[in-house]
Structure 1
């Protein structure tokens, strides 16, 4: 089955990694949401791609200096459009509650926490604690660029499917197969840039699911699926034809 992952939600229609962006996903017939999680100073797990506020909010500064109470005063929507003025950065708990309502599948990317291993360790524990509340009917994939974090997550949650994330440079320079094996990975989530058919075939030959990010052109997505890719992450899921959709598509 060809899978479309809504990259940070419907991130071309609503501000990325917000509840509004996630809420739109089922309306457009996608079965999977991708989100990013990191940690605040007080241990709260928050949904955010960046470890700073600068790009996607009305504030500047590090996530690692914030507490849950600070989120009330941060606008994560007005940068995108007036329609989303006042949108908040969601906690991971907020996200899980929404996912359970939407009855949808999730790929949770654990960020490579730049605050050091102590915070990364707390991030893993916090993610695991929240995932206990995820509806068992939802499929779950946990991914990370940092193999140390992913391997430790897998050690603590051996039944959870995990995917190693690779940039183009990591794929070319590193021993990707050993990394996948050490992490006991089920899948590889790989950068679209420069990805070749031979690379996809080799990855598949070792028994791994192959998901590609971030694919916003229909022709490229079609090519990748014809090569045997299992899924693509996209910002523009609403543009894909019905053959890729599995839920109630918005009319």
Structure 2
């Protein structure tokens, strides 16, 4: 059975996370899948960023919810990582979709928890669905989130896409079966620390694909693949992509 190696926030160990250069580098390193994060700006433009604030990964401070698309030109999302990446921008989802089509990449897109309320969460869902409609038909997408209610709503609006429930160890220790069935999930994305051989088997027996995050040691990646995990989300996808062929015993 084929395995999948996902580049966590693009090739984030060698380029600034969630930028077009980090995600585009997947193609040059034979990594077919990436994982990234999407939220919306104040004008409801979907943008690729992990945090709700700019402070950690840009030259600006403040909430992304105070921005519009016009503000993106003045924000540097690369210099914090290295001077050679100065000038990298926060990508819009539209720019990411164009890159996916051009580089023939597949994406796991995480809907971020939106603390502004249901209306903004629904705007995020609608905006993501609209942009994904511009993907070439041979591109593949998984939509994931820790917000399981939002994920269920996304699945209701766009049943053609696979959805993946992100789960902490605490979530996986409780009634995961009902949660997954109610949201219509086909995939589970658990914290790898939560996984044992036994619960991998239980999830697989229930019919779910499992992609574990964030696995940054080769030994742990091999162990999980040998247990039957389908995919590994890692900061070192370019170093682990050979594991897609056959797990090492």
Q: TM-score, normalised by structure 1?
A: 0.95
Distance 2:135 2:75 in 1: 26
> Which residue of the partner structure matches residue 152 of structure 1?
153
Give the superposition deviation at 1:245. 6.6
Give the superposition deviation at 1:170. 2.1
> Which residue of the partner structure matches residue 175 of structure 1?
175
Q: How many residues align?
A: 245
> Which residue of the partner structure matches residue 20 of structure 2?
19
Give the superposition deviation at 1:95. 0.3
Is 1:91 the counterpart of 2:92 in the alignment?
Answer: yes
Distance 1:180 1:161 in 2: 12
Q: What 5-or-longer segments of structure 2 have no aligned partner?
A: none
Contact 2:37 2:48 in 1 (8 A): yes
Give the superposition deviation at 1:159. 1.5
Contact 1:38 1:48 in 2 (8 A): yes
CA offsets 1:68-120 (integer angstroms, 9 cap, x no match) = 01111111001000110111000000000000001111111111111111110
> Which residue of the partner structure matches residue 38 of structure 1?
39
CA distance change for structure 1 residues 204 and 82 in 2, over 3 Å: closer, same or farther? same
Give the superposition deviation at 1:17. 0.3
1:144-223, aligned counterparts within 5 Å? 144-172=145-173, 174-223=174-223
RMSD of the alignment, in Å?
1.3
> Which residue of the partner structure matches residue 114 of structure 2?
113
> Which residue of the partner structure matches residue 234 of structure 1?
234
CA distance change for structure 1 residues 25 and 245 in 2, over 3 Å: closer, same or farther? farther
SS at match of 2:102: helix
SS at match of 1:240: helix
SS at match of 1:25: helix
Q: TM-score, normalised by structure 2?
A: 0.96
Give the superposition deviation at 1:241. 5.8
> Which residue of the partner structure matches residue 139 of structure 1?
140
Q: What 5-or-longer segments of structure 1 have no aligned partner?
A: 247-251
> Which residue of the partner structure matches residue 249 of structure 1?
none
